[in-house]
Amino acid sequence: MDELTKEVNKFRDERNWRQYHNAKDLSLSLSLEASELLENFQWITAEEGIEKNRQNIEEELADVFIYGLMLADDLNIDMNEAILRKLKKNREKYPVDS
């Protein structure tokens, strides 16, 4: 993830967009991109959405991850650690039935 974050930040910095990327605006943009991802499935089945919109789904999902990486970097959040902590918490909250 570190290499991806570096590439994302390089792209941003080459365009002098850092000035627009604060926690609020990155969070807002992440939500907007997630909504654009959902549009691929509006009024159709999941299967139809994937079949008709696979390329756009990939691009919108990438946008979601890009904004997430920028936000995590800005807030100095190690996403590897954050994901592992969240999985641990979810395992405790939702144990596998024995």
Q: How far is CA 52 from CA 34, 48, 95, in A?
A: 18, 6, 37
Give, for all 98 residues of the chain, the pLDDT tens digit: 899 999 999 999 999 999 999 999 999 999 999 999 999 999 999 999 999 999 999 999 999 999 999 999 999 999 999 999 999 999 999 999 85
**pLDDT at residue 13 in the model:** 97
- pTM of the complete model: 0.90
Exposed, middle or buried, 73 (CB in 10 Å: 0-12/13-18/19+)? Answer: buried
Q: Which two tokens stand for residue 33?
A: 């991109």
